[in-house]
């Protein structure tokens, strides 16, 4: 099993550009999450999903959209990137709300 994978690993965007981050899991988990990690801020929840076709807002959802069309995939979109969105993005999945398995992260820089 690959566990949780993220694509891409690194990306540099210019202000105003758009992009989609892909998260995939092969553990048949119901719950999936997107976090951002900034120095000294810990892990902040952007959006999450409790099942295929469902999404919900987390702590810091502004500027991001998500979709969960298939159970194994959770997409995070930035429609118009801003420098404040420079961060490391982690995807995670879990069976209900217990142990979360994290992906390797995506380092995004917005110039």
89 forms part of the interface with another protein (CB under 8 A): no
Round to whole Å and give the CA distance between 61 and 35.
Answer: 10
Q: What one-character DSSP code corresponds to residue 32?
A: E
Q: Which of 58, 61, 63, 77 binds another protein (CB under 8 A)?
A: 58
SS3 of the chain: helix, strand, coil, percent, to 5: 5, 50, 45
Interface with another protein, residue 97, by CB under 8 A: yes
Under a CB-based contact definition with an 8 Å cutoff, are residues 64 and 91 in contact?
no
Compare residues 15 and 97 and give the one whose CB is closer to another protein.
Answer: 97
Task: Cis check for the bond before 78: say yes or no (omega within 30 of 0).
Answer: no
What minimum distance in Å lies between the beta carbon of 65 and another protein?
18
Q: Which is nearer to another protein, 97 or 111 (CB)?
A: 97
Chain residues that interact with another protein, rule: CB under 8 A: 33, 35, 40-45, 48, 50, 56, 58-59, 90, 96-100, 102-105
């Amino acid at each position: 099993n690959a566990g949780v994978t993220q694509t891409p690993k690194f990306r540099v965007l210019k202000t105003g550009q758009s992009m989609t981050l892909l998260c995939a899991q092969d553990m048949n988990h119901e719950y999936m999450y997107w976090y951002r990690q900034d120095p000294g801020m810990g892990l902040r929840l952007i959006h999450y999903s409790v099942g295929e076709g469902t999404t919900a807002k987390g702590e810091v959802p502004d500027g991001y959209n998500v979709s969960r069309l298939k159970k194994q995939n959770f997409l995070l979109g930035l429609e118009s990137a801003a420098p404040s969105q420079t961060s490391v993005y982690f995807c995670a999945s879990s069976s209900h709300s217990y142990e979360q398995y994290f992906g390797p992260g995506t380092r995004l820089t917005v110039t």
